[in-house]
Amino acid sequence: MSKIITYSPAFTIVPTYECFNNCTYCNFRTDPYIYPWLTLEEARKILTNLMGKKVTEILILSGEIHPKSFRRKLWIQLLYDLGKLALEMGFYPHTNAGVLSYNEMALLKEVNVSMGLMLEQLTPNLLNTVHRHAPTKIPKLRLQQLEWAGKLKIPFTTGLLLGIGETLDDRIETLGSITTIQAKWGHIQEVILQPYVKGSQEKFLGESVSLSEIFEVISIAREILPESVTIQIPPNLINNEQALLKCLDLGVRDLGGIVPKDEVNPDYHHHSLDKLTMILSQGGWELKPRLPVYPQYYSWVNID
């Protein structure tokens, strides 16, 4: 019998790449006002083109508009309208738009089947390095987001970014914090273990995290996290077929959204589903699609 590994047939829509955070490893952001925001008309054309192509998840991935900006309400409204449009057209939206207020999160829950925010790493030491110019990467703020999502009963995705200057103890602490919050609210459906890899647009220029470190973190994560939380790893960031299979053997059970373009790591493309299926079959794995909300949370959202 084949072992099951899941993925989400997804497409990413970016309302805006501008972000008031400026993390040195980022290959996504632009400065404000350089490019216009996505319009609803443009989004409708994109979604219309996706109909009938087996895409189920619409990942609404956005840079953050400053909380005190006069454009903040317009941005939140755009995120809401994009989610509503995706739902109306038969897709399942998942929004990841950074740190939100409680009321903003509650509003976006109405038009999303799940949401997400990476913790990345909880050590405050990174506020002196890669997060020096990233006000919403303050650990307490990120943890508060997970708490609020739990209180609001939002099926949630979070995760760690590996290799941005953290220690092994930092990784263990972050995993432990996720476990504590999950025990309280039970809303975290998956944890992404995302390796840092060099990108062409970043300023950080660190060394990509090693495979041995990735294997170590997966093993530790499976020990620390409850079984109710699925471990996910982006397959396009593992550049070795046998290494990807080892990740699965160590406890990874999901490959996330397989998208035409990884907006966060645009230099690293996904294999085709046929190629990925072939690679996984070498280890006895069967690739199966899933929705961006896991079955145990269907009762929390409006799923037809």
CA neighbor of 183 nearest in space, from 208, 207, 147: 147
Check pLDDT > 70 for residue 303.
no
pLDDT > 70 fraction of the chain, expressed in percent and rounded: 99
> Is residue 279 over pLDDT 90?
yes
Residue 220 has pLDDT above 70, yes or no: yes
Q: What pLDDT is attached to residue 1?
A: 62
**In whole angstroms, what is the distance from residue 288 CA to residue 277 CA?**
9
Is-contact 216 41, C-beta < 8 A?
Answer: no
Alpha-carbon distance values, 260 to 171, 236, 281 (Å): 30, 11, 22
When pLDDT is averaged across residues 270-279 and rounded to a whole number, the result is 95
| Distance, CA of 298 to CA of 303 (rounded, Å) | 6
pLDDT for the residue numbered 204: 84
Domains of the chain: 3-300 (3.20.20.70)
Q: 249 is written with which tokens?
A: 């053997």
Q: Is the overall model pTM greater than 0.75, yes or no?
A: yes
Q: Which among 24, 94, 87, 40 is positioned nearest to 62, based on CA atoms?
A: 94
* pLDDT, tens digit (0-9, with 9 covering 90-100), for 96-105: 999 999 999 9
Q: What pLDDT, on a 0 to 100 scale, did the predictor assign at position 292?
A: 97
Q: What is the pLDDT of residue 304?
A: 59
Q: What is the pLDDT of residue 206?
A: 81
Mean pLDDT of 79-93: 98
The structure tokens listed for 180 are: 């504590």
Residue 113 predicted with pLDDT over 90: yes
Where does the pLDDT of residue 132 fall: very low under 50, low under 70, confident under 90, or very high at 90 and above?
Answer: very high
Please determine, for residue 15, whether its predicted confidence score (pLDDT) is greater than 90. yes
Of the two residues 296 and 302, the one the predictor is more confident about is 296
Residue in the block written with tokens 């057209």: 89
* pLDDT above 80 (res 221): yes
pLDDT-derived band at 228, boundaries 50, 70, 90: very high
* Residue 263 clears pLDDT 80, i.e. is over it: yes
Residue 159: pLDDT over 90: yes
Exposed/middle/buried for 295, CB within 10 Å: 0-12, 13-18, 19+?
A: exposed
